[in-house]
Amino acid sequence: QVQLVESGGGLVQVGDSLTLSCTFSGRTFTNYAMGWFRQAPGQEREFVAAVNWNGHKEINWDVRGRFSISRDNAKNTVSLQMNNLRPDDTAIYSCAAQNTIAVPTTRFEYDYWGPGTQVTVSS
């Protein structure tokens, strides 16, 4: 069974940077595409970024230029680097995994989810 655990969330100021990490276990990491999603209070869960086994990436236009995704296949981790954070980036950030060579960009395409980590950007 796939298990995902996020880390790196916290309270930051406007303009700060933060790196989230997600550790994958239970299956062969390189068989899985990995995604990051976020959900703000009262909002639906939205796609942030995703990367497949060989590094092909998709990033939400709303965060392009500020956020980047990367994976380390040797360490079974995927990271989300977030720069120039804004108050509207405040949300619970969750990583997700799906057994596919594609780069899924919707929450419906992912079978496995981590519990999430809170990111709060204070002005």
Q: Report the alpha-carbon angle 8-103-117, nearest 5.
A: 20
The total number of residues shown for the chain amounts to: 123
pLDDT along the chain (123 residues), means of 10: 97 98 98 98 96 96 97 98 97 98 96 98 95
Across the strands, what pairs with 33?
98
Q: In percent, how much of the chain has pLDDT > 70?
A: 100
What residue type is assigned to position 10 of the chain?
A: G
